[in-house]
Structure 1
């Protein structure tokens, strides 16, 4: 079979993978704090005997779009919108530390402060933040969590602790399969960000450009159709060549 079929197949495969990335972005267009996944295709020379004229297509993950999403004011005491290069520290499913900008928080029945995805938020000491029964809650712009205990007046508001909010540039983070960010250099721990780190009563929306993603999806679909057409044409040429060889024999 003509090797061109394999080259066209790598392009079709890369297009399908890119389509899956765009679909994932579109599915999260309404997810608070979501950062659009970036993907690209790079040339991969096919090495071996003969003249090196064949180049395959390889799908590559280029990280995420670090631009800030629009801020939406909600007035909810459990909603926070993080400033640039600030990330909430959460406990990942494997028990490690991960990071997110999803600021639409909630409380579990046992008083644990979690993200919308159910990941426990960590305090400055790296422990899950758990709140005792209370009648009022306030999260300060520096990440401090305060409550008014049950049956007490507003003047008895007590500070329970401070959320762990780290300072990290995009190149210091990598996205995991669970959508959470991890430190690219675990040996160099990310430090607590000083001062004002968030705006309360608001959430950062997804930074996915829905219209742009739809246009990109159409372009990728056309590329895939072209690559499939090349495969079909190559197969037809191979069949025709075999027929001519049999007739010549």
Structure 2
């Protein structure tokens, strides 16, 4: 296999990666708080020591560098539940992970566990700005509300404040596959910086028409790459046939 075939192979691998990401975006069109992903690729230039001409010494390959989230905010979806919230702007709700650490989510479905702790729809406890769960006394659970700054209000006053963390580099935020994300280097918003909308959640920011168009473009690019591979194979075959007739 010559260099041109390796270049085409790296391109086709990148296209396959893009197709996987687009398919995942489309599968999460209705997932609350989901942020569409985009592929990131880098150019890797390999320089040969010798080549027939100087311009042929450098060869560019496509390297899969990772993914990045589209931080554009999704639309507000009213649920009628006063405990459900949507983060207005950047940031993620802090959630307690099974190992005692902190994970994050944009899905603002909130419920009260049997022991009175506030939790996500999956049962993971939400954390306050001090990293502790927010507990609601039994006699106050029917009169709960969440203020714009994240303060959880009971019948007798505030019970705590939902922590919201932002990340300067969104590439450090990785989905776990269960609606939660991990991240490093985050900054917790202050009470004045926090803005929540209660009574609803944030919808997915995926646009099906855009993703479908992108998928068609990827498939066409892959077909073009396959035609180039076939043309290169024909050229090699003709070259071998001609060389075999020399002499």
TM interval, short-chain normalised? 0.7 to 0.9
Give the SS at the match of 2:35. Answer: coil
2: CA distance, partners of 1:32 / 1:26: 13
Residue aligning to 2:163? 164
Aligned to 1:12: 12
- Mapped partners of 1:94, 1:16: distance in 2: 34
CA distance in 2, matches of 1:220, 1:172: 25
Instruction: Report the TM-score when normalising by structure 2.
Output: 0.82
Unaligned segments of structure 1, at least 5 residues:
148-155
**Distance in 1 of aligned mates of 2:238 and 2:97:** 57
Q: Any idea what the Cα deviations from partners look like across 1:89-118, whole Å, max 9, x if unmatched?
A: 112455422332211223445544333455
Contact 1:86 1:193 in 2 (8 A): no
2:12 and 2:123 map into 1 onto residues whose CA distance is: 37
Q: Is 1:146 the equivalent of 2:153?
A: yes
More off after superposition, 171-180 vs 222-231: 171-180
1:209 is matched with 207
Counterparts of 1:1-249 in structure 2, within 5 Å, are: 1-50=1-50, 51-92=56-97, 94-133=99-138, 134-147=141-154, 156-166=155-165, 168=166, 170-171=168-169, 174-178=172-176, 180-183=181-184, 185=185, 190-195=187-192, 197-248=195-246
1:215–1:44: structure 2 CA closer, same or farther, 3 Å change rule?
same
Shift of 1:172: 5.9
Report the Cα distance in structure 2 between the residues aligned to 1:126 and 1:164, rounded to whole angstroms. 8
Number of corresponding residues = 236
Instruction: Quote the offset at 1:5 in angstroms.
Output: 0.7
Aligned partners of 1:26 and 1:213 also within 8 Å: yes
CA contact (8 A) 1:66 1:170 kept: no
SS of residue paired to 1:77:
coil
CA contact (8 A) 2:47 2:58 kept: no
Superposed CA deviations along residues 114-173 of structure 1, whole A, max 9, x for unmatched, are 3345543111221233445433432222222234xxxxxxxx44532221123x255366
| C-alpha distance 215-116 of structure 1, shift in aligned 2 (>3 A) | farther
TM-score (norm 1): 0.82
Asked whether the 8 Å contact 1:9–1:231 carries over to 2, the reply is no
Check conservation: 1:30, 1:206, Cα contact below 8 A.
yes
SS in structure 2 of the partner of residue 213 of structure 1: helix
Aligned-partner Cα distance in 2 for 1:240–1:36: 46
1:153 corresponds in structure 2 to none
Deviation of 1:15 after TM superposition, in Å, equals 0.4
Q: 1:20 to 1:119 in 2, by over 3 A?
A: farther
Identify if the C-alpha distance between structure 1 residues 105 and 247 changes in structure 2 by more than 3 Å, giving closer, same or farther. Answer: farther
Q: CA deviation at 1:18?
A: 0.8
Deviation at 1:223, TM superposition (A): 0.6
